[in-house]
Amino acid sequence: MKNFVLETNNNSVYLICKPLKEMGVKHFFSSRLGGFSKEDYAELNLGIFTNDNKDAINKNINKALNDNNMNSNIVYLKQVHSVVIHVVDSNNANIIKEKVGDALITKERDIPIGVFTADCVPCIVYDNKNKIVAVVHAGWKGTYQKILYKTIKKIIDDLNGDSDNIFVALGPAIGQCCFEVSYDVADKFNFVTKTDDKYFVDLFLENKKQALDASVKEENIFISNICTKCNNNLFYSYRVNNNTGRIGTFVSL
């Protein structure tokens, strides 16, 4: 976790990628601490599509944005483990908000884009030369379909991005220590261990490989290696409780 730091702000805790912060990128991976939600959703649940109290969710989102100096015109999607990618600007932000998809890209300032996770890998992509940001929701299905790779390639191929200046940050997600899967799922991946006839997939390394395959430099890939299941006191985990909240990963130029 050498490239990441936990920061406490207004009684809430956020994971920050230090290199992104040093480059002036507004961003955060939220924790579950310091919000308004109760019981299974306690405390800082940002999961808009969960069954939590809607007023509490809205208060949590406003708090997280204020804590991290982002404005409230956020764009997020109805995530379905797809490889649907949307490019957002000021003209279409309200149209794209809540559409089906699992990745967002923008070149415009002050449009926070975000994804919600509770074991899936939240990814931030940043082109420091061309000032392009993206956020990606990569569960095992999205990872298998190479959503991170496709998002980076879209930045390079469609938005004239520069792979030499692209940086990738992978936030808290279920680690290989806890991500036990069936053989049928394990057989789809490269980074798998087998212990006592049980299969465990490393989604961090799977997504790192996708970034490398998209020509991102290895030294520009930052991995939190924080397991949400092991650290359920700090982050939400669907494997621990499927009736739970979501952390939010937001980024803004």
Q: Is the pTM of this model over 0.95?
A: yes
For position 1, what pLDDT does the model report?
79
**What's the rounded Cα separation, in Å, for the pair 245 and 42?**
8
Query: Phi/psi zone of residue 146: left (φ > 0), alpha (ψ -120 to 50 degrees), beta?
Result: left
Q: Give the distance between the most distant pair of CA atoms in the chain.
A: 54
Answer positive or negative: Cα dihedral of 61, 66, 68, 70.
Answer: positive
7, 14 contact by CB (below 8 A)? yes
Q: Which residues pair with 9 in a beta bridge?
A: 12
Where in the chain does DSSP place strands (E)?
4-9, 12-17, 26-30, 85-88, 103-106, 113-117, 121-127, 132-138, 166-170, 180-181, 192-195, 198-201, 221-223, 247-252
Structural domain of residue 76, as residue ranges?
4-252
How many domains does the structure of the chain reveal? 1
For position 190, what pLDDT does the model report?
97
3-state secondary structure of 83: coil
Q: Which two tokens stand for residue 38?
A: 């109760």
Walk along the chain (253 residues) and give the pLDDT tens digit of each residue: 789 999 999 999 999 999 999 999 999 999 999 999 999 999 999 999 999 999 999 999 999 999 999 999 999 999 999 999 999 999 999 999 999 999 999 999 999 999 999 999 999 999 999 999 999 999 999 999 999 999 999 999 999 999 999 999 999 999 999 999 999 999 999 999 999 999 999 999 999 999 999 999 999 999 999 999 999 999 999 999 999 999 999 999 9
65, 44 contact by CB (below 8 A)? no
**Tell me, what CATH number does 216's domain have?**
3.60.140.10
For position 184, what pLDDT does the model report?
97
**What's the rounded Cα separation, in Å, for the pair 252 and 230?**
29
C-alpha 155 chain-centroid distance: 17
